[in-house]
Structure 1
Amino acid sequence: MKKFLLQVERNCISGALVLLPLLVFFVLLEKVWKFFQNYGEKFAHFLRLDLFLGKYATDIAGGMILLVLIYLSGFLMRLALLRRFTNWVDDKLMIFLPGYEKNKKEAEEKLNKRKKKPSTDVPILLKNGEFWQPAHLIEEDANGNAVIFVPTAPAKDQGQILIVKSTDFKKLSETTLGSLDASIKSLGKGILSFK
């Protein structure tokens, strides 16, 4: 019975830690949307959009104001003073909102994936004693040295950076980085078929 109660207590605490950041996020989102709806209603009435769009004019105009504000904020972020201020706000939010840092990193990763940056990484297998380990080849020099990144499963973006000889690994020329990363995330499933 004691084990069951401890498990219930752990589950309740874990659930609260998951739900609290989500609740705060949705409350903030609701407040921000109400703010823009208020100005959207005035803007829609000023442009007479409410005559032919009806009750949806408020939402459409508020959304347009929000998008224009986000777009203009992108230009303002180039100013060093504003960048320092937003970094300060981020630091404070990380202290007072549990899970903010993790959610921010996930959002940044998703945005970076959309930008589709060209990658110079090459999937490889690193010789490590008697076994081979999946890794990314970052760069090579003319002296036969190479910088590689060895991810720690299941996180594809955490691991070790090593400098090795070019003879200590083999390139997987028929394998993409995406399939290597997916295999690392699934704890090695599918690596045996890589070439």
Structure 2
Amino acid sequence: MNFIKSTVLGGILFLVPLIVLVAVLGKAYEVMLRVAGPVLDMIPAVSVLGVALINIVTILLIILVCFVAGLVAKGRLFKGFVDRIDDKLTILLPGYAYLKSFTAAVDKDSKNPLQPVLVRQDDMSLFGFYVEPANTGHSVVYMPSAPDTTSGSVAIVEDSRITPLDANFIDTISSLRRFGLGSGKIPIRVD
């Protein structure tokens, strides 16, 4: 019974952000169709080319709005506001920080909040993700489970036991989801 319950809950936590994203993009598409309407009325939508052109212009407008919103979010004026919203989303939406790390891994200009590391324990090392510095000589590390990397534990670890990896977030997560397959090829950073 626990397996069914946890699997259904995991499915819900996976689907809810996707459903919200689809709904938001659907609404954005409707709004952009209305905004682009006067310009697009000049294009005959009777032909397949006309309909395709209307859809292409609408999608390009959505991309443009997202780009402008991204510029505004990166600007100094809205930085504090965006940071506060980001903190609230991290608390309210499970998996938001995880999703944010995925997007940051794709965006080379972004500072990925979760950096892959190895954490030495007795006679083995575990994969983890550096979160932030803790008190003197220690750091906060997220230790994901395998193959479900969305669950795991948070540990305060001595800095001397942490070795940074020259791997990105996505490659490390992919390896963990495959029960460690390919982990031996992840380069260890030598400082």
The 2-side partners of 1:20 and 1:181 are apart by: 21
Q: Contact 2:138 / 2:156 at 8 angstroms: preserved in 1?
A: no
SS in 2 for 1:54: helix
Runs of 4+ in 1 over 6 A off after TM superposition: 145-148, 190-195
Query: 1:109: which partner in 2?
Result: 101
Q: TM-score, normalised by structure 2?
A: 0.54
Which structure 1 residue ranges, 5 or more long, are not aligned? 139-144
- When structure 1 is superposed on structure 2, of 64-73 and 17-26 the one drifting more is 17-26
Cα distance change, pair 62–93 in 1 and its aligned pair in 2 (3 A): farther
CA 1:113–1:63 in structure 2 vs 1: closer, same or farther (change >3 Å)?
same
- What is the match of residue 157 of structure 2? 162
Distance in 1 between the 2:172 and 2:107 partners? 20
After the TM superposition, which residues 49-64 of structure 1 pair with which residues of structure 2 at under 5 Å, given as runs? 49-50=43-44, 53-64=49-60
Contact 1:135–1:149 under 8 Å retained in 2 = no
**C-alpha contact 1:122 1:136 (8 A) present in aligned 2:** yes
Structure 1 position 16, deviation (Å): 8.6
Contact 1:148 1:164 (C-alpha < 8 Å) held by counterparts = no
Residue 69 of structure 1: how far off its partner (Å): 1.2
* 1:126 partner amino acid: R
Matches within 5 A, 1:126-137: 126-128=120-122, 131-135=123-127
Residue 84 of structure 1 corresponds to 81
Q: CA deviation at 1:160?
A: 2.6
**Deviation (angstroms), 1:185:** 4.4
Which of 1 and 2 has greater Rg?
A: 1
Call closer, same or farther: CA 1:133–1:30 in 2, change over 3 Å.
same
Matched residue, 2:134: none
Given that 2:72 and 2:78 are in contact with CA atoms closer than 8 Å, whether structure 1 keeps it comes out as no
The one-letter amino acid of 2:155's match is: Q
Q: Distance in 2 between matches of 1:137 and 1:91?
A: 21
The secondary structure found in structure 1 opposite 2:125 is strand
How many residues align? The count is 169
What RMSD in Å do the two structures reach over aligned CA positions?
Answer: 5.1
For residues 59 and 68 of structure 2, what CA distance do their matches in structure 1 show?
14
Is the CA contact 1:136–1:149 (under 8 Å) kept in the aligned structure 2? Answer: yes
Alignment correspondent of 1:141: none
1:66-92 Cα distance to aligned partner (Å, 9 max, x none):
111111112222143475168449838
Structure 1 residue 29 displacement after superposition: 2.9
